[in-house]
Structure 1
Amino acid sequence: MKKVPMTVEGAEALRAELEDLKKVQRPRIIQDIADAREHGDLKENAEYHAAREQQSFCEGRIQEIEGKLADSQVIDVKAIPATGKVIFGTTVTIVNVETDEEKTYRIVGDDEADVKINKISISSPIARALIGKEEGDVVVVKTPGGEVEYEIDKVEHI
């Protein structure tokens, strides 16, 4: 089985969500189902059907998270000696060679990626182009709009 890389923070977030689902959401949904059953006829009981749907979603999400955690390889980038190279978990500041536009990204696992907070997936085109490079290197990223050149300005192990 292929292990999927995940940062320590990503694993902690999944564990916290799993704990909430198991200890807070699941008991609440079970109580909602019990309350809805007391209202009588289950065929036409919208509250009962809604609670059962919530239960199905909750149980599916629990299984999904447990599977992701089982298949993950948690990597603590802080424990890896800083080499100046771009690796999984590092924060990279890049500068567009043509426009001088600066962007900072953290390279994380697929499940943690969120461009809104500058976290990009290890399997994204930008991350794949950056991995293994060092500060000062120029990389070419293939985008839908064509090739874009970026210079690596800074690599941080934070």
Structure 2
Amino acid sequence: MRTLTLNHEYATELLSFLSRLADVTTWQRLGSQASAERIDPDTEMTVRTPMPATELPSALASRLPDQAELVEVYMIPGDVLGDSAEVRMSAHAAGVPVEIDALIMLREQDSTTSLSVHAEVSSSIPMFGSMIEQAVVPILEKRLKDRLVKLESS
């Protein structure tokens, strides 16, 4: 298992940021397809993002279907008390023997929201799993960094 930690600051209040995450149009502006299911009071957001073969290591890209996509599922809290919240995220891609589980911690201070992501990347392939995880982590890190920046302007 490999871990990844990222941080970002947003010039918006916590509830506004959570509302943005629970909005299908936010994800569409980022180039993904999204669907929301309300699980009172929370929102389960399923986000599907194409994975172009050109962005993947050749050894991995050659094993994926032509229309490969990353499927992320976010559990966004609807009831937030105080100045912090947690969002759970899991992700996978068909044909890739890797699972991603992440905890996104949000904290509001002075009308800004600090975001911290702690993700665990694991592969179910015996012996070669660690090599697959090692190849996936830089891709995941780049995609998450790009998305965190783009979320600010969406």
Query: TM-score if structure 2 supplies the norm length?
Result: 0.25
| Structure showing the higher strand proportion among its residues | 2
| Structure showing the higher helix proportion among its residues | 1
